[in-house]
Amino acid sequence: MEEYILSIDAGTTNIKAALVNRQGQFSGSASQALSMHHPLPGWSEQDPNQILRALKQTVQECIHGVGRTTLKGVSISNQRESILVWDKSSGKAIVPLISWQCNRSKDVCTHLIKNGHQEMVYAKTGLVIDTLFPAAKLSMTLDTLPNATEMLSSGKWLVGTVDAWLLWHLSDGEIFATDVSNASRTQLYNIHEQRWDKDLLDLFRIPEACLPEVRPSSSSFGCVKAFTNEIDGLPIISMIGDSHAALYGHTNFSEGVKATYGTGSSLMAPVSSPIVSQERSLTTTVAWQDDEGMTFALEGNILHTGAAVGWMSSLFNGIKSEDLTRIPALLYDNGGVYFVPALSGLGAPHWNSNVKGIICGLTDSITTEHLVRAALESIAFQVKDVFDAMEQATGRKLNRLFVDGGPTANPWLMQFQADVLNRPIVRSKVPEVSALGAAYLGGKTLGWWNTHDEISTLERATEIFEPNPSAIHLEAIEGWKSAIAKCLTNT
């Protein structure tokens, strides 16, 4: 009888669930869409109760018709850097989920940097002070809540990322925990000493009593209880941030670089120890912790990639996904038009939350097609900027880029990415690499696989896009650099 891990991927725009067997193959999946709210310019929020409802529906659909005895555990990957506060006794959220995309803490971050805290925060966490990370958003939000300090210090209110919120409800409030990868993204966790850091907690005024226990990514997180009958009693066997999970899913255990394309994008490469660069163009994070030890990663976070295309498409009453391959191929080039999608500032390698997005190079010959192509090109150019920064930080040539995520289904974009990088692009044919990586970690907890080498031998279908030597786009790359320079002066 076939056995499965139920792997949940709680992303920004949807929740997905997949069944993964002992051969590392998908045997069924389901998904539910999630909505995003923007109450003020630059603010991004989600309804945490919608996430729970979508999780239950997705799980029930995914495992429909599957024998209960064939399910051996639950793995979770999740959107990172989003944060919320909930009441311990009732489990009800005190505030909406504050999204990683939200830049409401822009003034807080500017104040912290001006007061000289950047060096200390970066040295301890591997992260620059930026609106992407939860600590400043949380600090600002708590200032608006009456009695927040008292409720948090007493442990009556709890603070956590999406994985901790899901685990709390899956376990019916019995387990309050997170994993090292998610903890390392809060800007409250010391990645060298592997603990919540008193200096950081004091700086952001967050009591440790409200924070979850930090556990290895591949470990026991209790059992599902009183959530939905179909999975009640199943052990929860891994938790990990979605970008980290994708790195694990590509089996980049010690080398290589991957890019996960989604609402935003993350480039990540494993490293043996934290890299703290003077330029601070990239961050260092805990990639995961399993029974083979702690792995770190160098990372570059891009805030708007798929979201940039979605925004541009919305200006024209929506454009079908199949048109996003057809439209750019109709044109010889971009017509000199560049779109820098700093819709809530720029992430890596620029880290500037004050800039505004720009479209430049407009003439009377520019069409809708040029603007759509410019949005797609912005994805590839931003990935190249981070890829180049990674080569500089590691001091070595990166020979290829492993890719996953929804936008990678666009063959035009993948070929353009290969041409811009002048490197082969290795596209996973597995639809949900983050869910696969979480399942691999869960399988290690179960003893399905004992080593990274064993996991590396599992069959994974890929497709390679080779760069076209006659289409390196040097002129277009220079045009992008000029557009970025203009954007960085547009505050």
pLDDT for 277: 65
User: Judging by DSSP bridges, how do beta strands 177-179 and 213-215 pair with one another?
Assistant: parallel
Assign 212 a pLDDT band (cuts: 50, 70, 90): very high
- Mean pLDDT, residues 224-240 taken together: 90
What contacts 305, CB < 8 A, 6 or more positions away? 261, 262, 263, 264, 265, 341, 378, 379, 382, 383, 407
pLDDT for 196: 97
Determine whether 338 is exposed, middle or buried from the number of CB atoms within 10 Å of its CB (0-12, 13-18, 19+): buried
pLDDT for 307: 85
Question: What is each CA distance from 454 to 24, 443, 450, 458, in whole angstroms?
Answer: 11, 11, 7, 7
Highest averaged pLDDT of the listed ranges 176-180, 344-348, 355-359, 425-429: 176-180
pLDDT for 13: 87
pLDDT for 278: 62
- Reply yes or no on whether the pLDDT at 262 is more than 90: no
Residue ranges in 63-197 assigned as alpha helix (H): 106-114, 118-125, 134-142, 148-153, 162-170, 180-183
Classify 346 as helix, strand or coil. strand
pLDDT for 214: 97
- Mean pLDDT, residues 342-348 taken together: 86
Determine whether 435 is exposed, middle or buried from the number of CB atoms within 10 Å of its CB (0-12, 13-18, 19+): buried
DSSP string across 121-148: HHHHHS--S-TTSHHHHHHHHHTTSTTH
Write out pLDDT tens, residues 294-317. 999 999 989 888 888 888 888 887
With contact defined as beta carbons under 8 Å apart, do 108 and 136 qualify?
yes
d(CA 211, CA 103): 22
Write out pLDDT tens, residues 162-189. 999 999 999 999 999 999 999 999 999 9
In order of their start, the domains of the chain are: 4-243 (3.30.420.40), 306-340+357-424+467-488 (3.30.420.40)
pTM over 0.85: yes
pLDDT, greater one: 455 or 321? 455
